Chain A
Amino acid sequence: MSSPALPLIHQALRKSFQRLESSQKVWASVLAECSPLIASVGNLAEQLRALSSLHLPSTPLNVFPDLEDRLRFKLLHAVDTALVRLNEQMCSLQSVRDSFSNQVSAVFQLYEQNRDSLDASTVMERSAMAPSICDMMGWLQDAEHHYRQQFVRRKALLQTLRADELSLLESSPKRWKSLESPSMEENITDALDKVSFFIEE
């Protein structure tokens, strides 16, 4: 009754979900590292604005020569460093995304190769221990889409930041925060819960 390809697919799915679990952890930790960086970008932008609205020669600090330029340089330098480090984090996000999407496309490829031997009822059969193949593939695709979407959004945000546009820099922590989609995260956790028996099998 059951096709010879079924164990193969199950094996691949199991691997993918294990990968998803680990990716999820890495992804969260990278994002956690990003948040202080982006907060500091916003902070530095505020300092820059304060500096430009202040007239230094009329303050007691006027004894220091070209204090304003030095301060500005320092702040800009700090912004730059933060952005560079953020970009590094983006690279690790990208690697997570790429490895996961490779894994998912491998599952889909395997399914494509064996789809003649798998009839619809097998693909959609659900049991107490394991969800159907179709559901699991759907969840994997959703997760992959989520990673891709998150990455594109965050990258687009970072790439539009420039040192000479203070308002953009200032609002960046808020916008970074708004990019999170808790519902999708929840869906992924749900899916992982649903397949927990299947993985342990």
Chain B
Amino acid sequence: MSVRLLPVDPSDQGSQRCRMGPALMSALGLSLGSPLLISFPRGSCLCTAWPRTDLAEGFLQTDLKVSSPSLMSHPPTQLQMDHSKITPVTCSILRCVKTTVIVGSVEFKKRTPSRLIHELVKDMLKGLYVQTTFVVNLEDFDTDIKYVVIEDIKSDSVSGGLITSKTGLEIVGILTARYYNSQLQNQNMVPLGGLEEVSASLKEILQLPLLYPGTLTSLCVTCPRGVLLVGPPGVGKTQLIHKVTGEVGASLVVTRGPEVVGSRPGESEEKLRAVFERARFAAEEGPCVLFLDELDSLCPKRTSSSAPENRLVAQLLTLMDGVDQSDRFLVVGATNRPDSLDPALRRPGRFDREVIIGPPTVQQRKAILTVLCAGMPVCPSVDMAELAQQTTGYVGADLSALCREAAMNAIREDNKYLREQTIGMKHFQEALKVVLPSCLRGSLGRTELSPVSWEQIGGLDEVKFKLRQSVEWPMRYPEAFVRMGLHRPRGVLLYGPPGCAKTTLVRAVASSSHCAFLSVSGADLYSPYVGDSEKALAQLFHQARACAPSILFLDEIDSLISSRSSANGTNSAHTRLLSVLLNEMDGIGLKTVERRGAKVLQAEGVEEGHALEKMDHQEVCNKDVMVIAATNRPECLDSALLRPGRLDHIIYIPPPDQQARLCILKVCTESMPLGPDVCLEELVEKTELYSGADLQNLCKEAALLALQEENLEASALKHRYFVQALSRMRPSLTEQQINSYQKTPR
């Protein structure tokens, strides 16, 4: 049996009545005006039973005058309701009730004597049935007293009770509605994953002066007043603040940078002062955090000209200095461009502490994914650790987009069986193709990479093995490297004659090692402005580090960077780029803003501990970026670049020998309909000095020839076409060229 929920009648507003059909009333054993409890999914409300004026059955209209706080902020939206959700309650007359009064404005709270508030509240509460922790909505009285929270009731062993004129009223506190609402909102915050460490340190700063004010004053310590959160976009700076303030129970005053800026001169400063004033008001009621989001737009570096921003910056500085110890509020700024802030802002006394939140590491990503998927019907076969490993360079926002996309995929796949639908690994894999890491968004090196398997490259087994050893192993089996005390190679140089699959090999490496892949060529880096290319290269390394483990591929490195000893002059762009590259590969350390999540203290689990340990190894080994360079002119490279510690593995990719050529031809002709007379071995004999690319071209020519001779109706490739094509072609390699590669470049 269910009833339809209707909105409450205007004449019943504020009467605590619940209108229902008479039959339902007698079925539930209710008489006129007897109290009942109605449970909604979000909370419950207490009201009195009344029959509908038209005595119709099957409808329910309830006035939410007395309800649980969660129901107050989110009124029920459902349309149908079951009878079992309505339960009669027994209520006795209350002797005493303890309440907190929520008023509309601070002025009312300050000006009105508590005696008057007591009198008014007592008048308003008369005749109501209440329960502990419930909130009474008094907005229909149209005064500045908005709500009353029932903190405690004194009655004889029942949960609810009736307030009469004889009930004693005790007011334990008076709060403003703004403060109360912010506290209510904080209660239903979603948990954040992977930011435990940062949030713990923030919480400490917030709680210390509140919990131990005496200790701090006796030690003559001034508490920090400002915290600057630095981190790339999407790592959850804003969410973190919301969550921490919620947990500490502090109220939050949020100001986004651009909101403050006005058009008239002096307007922005005025708004900024008003914001601080608001925070000061809020701090009178309890701990308060003033959050300045996008601080870089509010407080850019001051320039010498008298720009209007300069005044705003000066105003912010003086306001921050003006916050004295008696104002119990903390200023938190968040930015993703800390370098563009005015340096005066970043000294102790203003923003004392800087908290850096980097892109999440594997473990943090796992934690974030676990939190995000907690509410989703995720198939148990989905391995969060595996998913975390595949999402290098994803920040929190990306991961939530990923989960959303995966859920959308699941819905699109089959919306008929939506109820039993679960999100499987394949949906996540699909979503991974659509959602790309935002660290790499706008990066010049981002490449769409169609995966290439090792089998698609013919021959070169020795080279493949070496590559896997130097690139794939450290990425995949870091624990073995740690055990043997090995360091991961920092860079690999591939050299060899043109057309021998250097680039294709790199693609295969990238697709087999599951990490972010950035590729850059000379054209991307060149710019007519002095210093621009160097900056672009440094930026590229920065981004690669942000989404480490990653592979940075420099194709045709000789065109990018030539030897310093060559005749180009010592101060050309080439040499400057070289010095940037040398520094980035083997520099003295990381910039502080590039710091990423540190290790979290972990419990001593047995199996779980082992898995974590494995991930830990991965973190240790994958701190850096692996550089892979390819060239066909190794003699042009600077010797400093080739020493161990920079490009330590130097791999020669030889022109294909007989066996390799056979493999290549087999791979190339795999999709072609070969005639029975085709003898690949014979072709191999005849193609001495042909490179891989030449062989591919040969197959293509032969196929075209077949189409040409047999008028587009050819169904099989005959051997003579290969021979014919071969007679028209010249090998691209020469004996002399190959010999020149024989001596190692180092």
What is the minimal beta-carbon distance from B127 to any residue of chain A, in angstroms? Answer: 8
Contacts of A137 in B (CB 8 A): 32-33
Comparing A49-57, A63-71, A77-85, A140-148, the segment that makes contact with chain B is A140-148
Interchain CB contact under 8 A, A108 and B120: no
The answer to whether B123 and A115 have CB atoms under 8 Å apart is no
* Bound: A148/B11 CA distance, A: 15
Contact indicator B51/A152 (Cβ below 8 Å): no
Q: Which of B11, B26, B33, B145 contacts A120 (CB 8 A)?
A: B26
Is chain A's binding surface mostly helix, strand, loop or mixed?
helix
CB within 8 A of A151: which of B31, B53, B123?
Answer: B123
Q: How far is the CB of B66 from chain A (nearest CB, A)?
A: 14
B32 touches A152 (CB 8 A): no
Q: Is B141 an interface residue (CB 8 A)?
A: yes
**A123 close to chain B: CB less than 8 A:** yes
B124: A residues at CB distance < 8 A:
148, 152
Cross-chain contact B32 with A145 (CB below 8 angstroms) = no
Given the known interface contacts A124-B22, A137-B32, A137-B33, the answer about A156 and B143 at a Cβ–Cβ threshold of 8 Å is yes
- Report the bound CA distance from A155 to B144 in whole Å: 12
Per-residue B-contact encoding for A18-39, CB less than 8 Å = 1, 0 else: 0000000000000000000000
B33 touches A153 (CB 8 A): no
B14 part of interface (Cβ distance < 8 Å): yes
**Cβ–Cβ contact B15 & A142, under 8 A:** yes
Q: Mark B43-79, 1 if CB is under 8 A from A, else 0.
A: 0000000110101000000000000000000000000
Query: CB of B416 within 8 A of chain A?
Result: no
Interchain CB contact under 8 A, A148 and B126 = yes
B contacts with A, residue count (CB < 8 A) = 30
In the complex, B441 has a CB within 8 A of chain A: no
Task: Say yes or no: is B140 at the interface (Cβ < 8 Å to chain A).
Answer: yes
Docked-complex contact A124 and B50, CB < 8 angstroms: no
CB B162 to nearest CB in A, in angstroms, measures 11
A101 to B127, CA, bound (A): 10
- A153: chain B residues within 8 A (beta carbon): 141-143
Tell me, in angstroms, the Cα distance from A179 to B142 when the chains sit together. 9
B326 surroundings in chain A (CB, below 8 A)? none
**Contact-residue size bin, chain A (C-beta under 8 Å from the other chain):** 20 to 34
With the chains together, A153 CA to B55 CA distance in Å? Answer: 33
Please encode chain B, from 176 to 204, with 1 for each CB lying within 8 Å of some chain A CB and 0 for all others.
00000000000000000000000000000
Set B15, B32, B112, B120: member contacting A115, Cβ < 8 A: B32
Contact A124 B141 (CB under 8 A): no
Q: Which residues of chain A come closer than 8 Å to B15, judged between CB atoms?
A: 141-142, 145
B120 pairs with A111, CB closer than 8 A: no
Chain B residue nearest to A116 (CB atoms) is B31
B612 at interface, CB cutoff 8 A: no
- Contact B32–A134 (Cβ < 8 Å): yes
Say how far A116's CB is from chain B's closest CB, in angstroms. 9
A29 to B576, CA, bound (A): 96
Q: Decide if A187 is an interface residue (CB 8 Å cutoff).
A: yes
A111 to B145, CA, bound (A): 33
**B144, A156: Cβ atoms closer than 8 Å:** yes
Out of B50, B144, B164, which one reaches A134, CB within 8 Å? B50
Q: Mark B85-127, 1 if CB is under 8 A from A, else 0.
A: 0000000000000000000000010011000100110011011
Binding site for B on A (CB under 8 A): 101, 105, 108, 111, 115, 118-120, 123-124, 133-135, 137-138, 141-142, 144-145, 148-149, 151-153, 155-156, 159-160, 179, 187
The 7 closest A-B pairs by CB, nearest first: A156-B143, A115-B31, A120-B26, A152-B123, A159-B116, A152-B141, A120-B22
**8 A/B residue pairs, CB under 8 Å, sorted by A:** A101-B126, A123-B32, A144-B127, A145-B127, A148-B126, A156-B144, A159-B112, A159-B116
Known: A145-B15, A152-B120, A155-B119. 19 other contacts (CB 8 A): A111-B32, A115-B32, A120-B22, A124-B22, A124-B55, A133-B32, A134-B50, A137-B32, A138-B53, A142-B15, A148-B123, A151-B123, A152-B141, A152-B143, A153-B142, A155-B123, A156-B120, A156-B145, A187-B11
